[in-house]
Chains A and B, each alone.
Chain A
């Protein structure tokens, strides 16, 4: 019985005219997205290579280890072809020097803002928007459409168990749609191979998992469509409801989750933090000046006009150490502010993602981005990696400066400000053992662990929707 039902569903889908059209469009979009992804990736690689060469050249041209600086580049990753995520929002390189902490700058979107207008169309986008719509379009009238066309009574004049019928509807439609979608995805993979994208084994593993989670996402929308079809009696109503649900899940909830989290957990802006820091610093310095004044008063009161050189010296030393202590204090305060900021940001982010995950579309997008390594973690990974590299680089430069003094002479002091001496030699620098920036990699173990949550959620949504469809269909009036 079950086989007969599934077979019929499959046949009905394959024979329906909308199948060829929608599948054609869908396959075309998937292939197009990968094509665009590949060319963008190739462009990024080119930019990366030339950028690095240029930076190496500039490094060799520097004359002193004192002022030495370099650039660290973010390496393009083949996974960005499928899920661009934050790739085009994050800067491509960071300046590494002794003075300021490294920041990624010049993102693709900031350089070519036209792309930011509609964003890149990647495979994840096509899956999130087009495939989910396709899934709903094929199942929204699964039950109510048959009732409307009047075939349900004849079907249920036979000894057909309702559960089997519903399951067969789901499975039949699933096979009918998933097989062509998988074929289209395989074509995309073929395109990646033919384009010579350097995919490692791990890349393929990630891609495979991405395909699996895409199918899981696709399935969840199919079952949601089935659920709606079992809740309604007319397909026009079902169509409307499906559309509203689709808009809510794909377009609204993901954004609403983030906005709501922003309201619930407030994160101060960087400007606010700067303000707090400045206020703190001003207070401290004011206090210091008062202390200094009273110290001076005291001394004058005790032994007027008899400041020996020695006393003067100790006085200056005390002053100096006080100054340093205050600077440390301010730095510590600022560090605490930033720590608090990043802690709050984490809480906000977690809340935003948890809220958004109510929608299968967000669960899928988060999973896809983390699989591709283009999620928010990409920024953190690079920030951490750049910090470490900067420390290594500065240490190296300092060591080299001690070994071979020369170049600029820079000295800072709080009262005199900065002074720069003149270079003494112009010899080539020996950069053989200079540390190089190794782009941070994402650990696959952690990725898979995070993936399980989203995969579990998508499965849960599918099961819940099917259970709902089942309960609704048990009481469905087939007439």
Chain B
């Protein structure tokens, strides 16, 4: 299924390393690349370093070694330039509680440099992520986690950036919304976005991703094109890697 996508990487980690102030080595010389039109899924236990990797791409933290690049721009050297090219959905989207969904979308779209959207645009993107119409003009105060997550995804779509970072974007989504999100990812891929996603959903990852990476203790212990994993039981593989087997042992 996976095609060899031509061209340079849009998202790239080069021996990316992060040791926190308290000494925890959260990311240990991690390298990978996501090209336009590719979805890169990171699997891994809690605390494996997935969020750390995404935060490094957003320059929320500085790398201890190596660098994260977006469209060739080193994020910790030119963060503003890099951030123009990336949209982000966190694992727990938080928005302004006193603003309505549409007001939140409008503000963040403008921050993302998109000032030309109309009310209709906001309406259609909210419908696209599955937020029912009666919630569009309600204050965020009463929104459930899944509803906020949908708004966060809508904001990322509106930014229309070439790179997208998704940190467990489907956490809190109901099954229907989860399925719709999968379709959404597909269409974003067709639009040529480069998508880096962390997830705990092995099955969905296998279905939607082009490359699957398994992380453990700050290292990528497996990184394979999804096409090569087609016949394999990914869940068993994952367990083996978590148990500390080396790549050779696991595949054997």
Contact = CB atoms under 8 A, between A and B. Distances in A.
Interface string A388-405: 000000000000000000
A159 interface: yes
B177 interface: no
Given A154-B152, A479-B60, 9 more contacts: A1-B111, A4-B111, A15-B98, A150-B92, A154-B93, A157-B58, A157-B88, A157-B165, A477-B61
Contacts of A150: 90, 92-94
Q: Is the interface of A mostly helix, strand, loop or mixed?
A: loop
A478 interface: yes
B110 A154 contact: no
Contacts of B39: none
A477 B58 CA distance: 12
Nearest to B80: A159
A275 interface: no
Interface string B56-82: 001011000000000000000001110
A287 interface: no
A166 to B, nearest CB: 15
A464 B201 CA distance: 50
Contacts of B107: 4, 8
Interface string A141-167: 000000001110111111111000000
Contacts of B92: 150
B99 interface: yes
Given A4-B111, A154-B88, A159-B80, A16 B94 contact: no
Contacts of B58: 153, 156-157
A171 to B, nearest CB: 17
Contact of A161 (B80, B87, B159): B80
Interface of A: 1, 4-5, 8, 11-12, 15-16, 149-151, 153-161, 477-479
3 tightest CB-CB pairs across the interface, nearest first?
A150-B94, A157-B88, A158-B111
Contact of A159 (B81, B93, B98): B81
Interface of B: 55, 58, 60-61, 79-81, 83-84, 86-88, 90, 92-99, 103, 107-108, 110-113, 152, 155, 159, 165
Given A15-B98, A161-B80, A153 B113 contact: no
Given A8-B107, A158-B111, A158-B112, A151 B83 contact: no
Contact of B60 (A1, A15, A477): A477
30 contacts: A12-B98, A149-B97, A150-B92, A151-B94, A151-B95, A151-B96, A154-B88, A154-B93, A154-B95, A154-B108, A154-B155, A155-B108, A155-B111, A156-B60, A156-B83, A157-B58, A157-B83, A157-B165, A158-B108, A158-B111, A158-B159, A159-B79, A159-B83, A159-B84, A159-B113, A160-B111, A477-B61, A478-B60, A479-B55, A479-B61
Given A4-B110, A477-B60, A157 B86 contact: yes
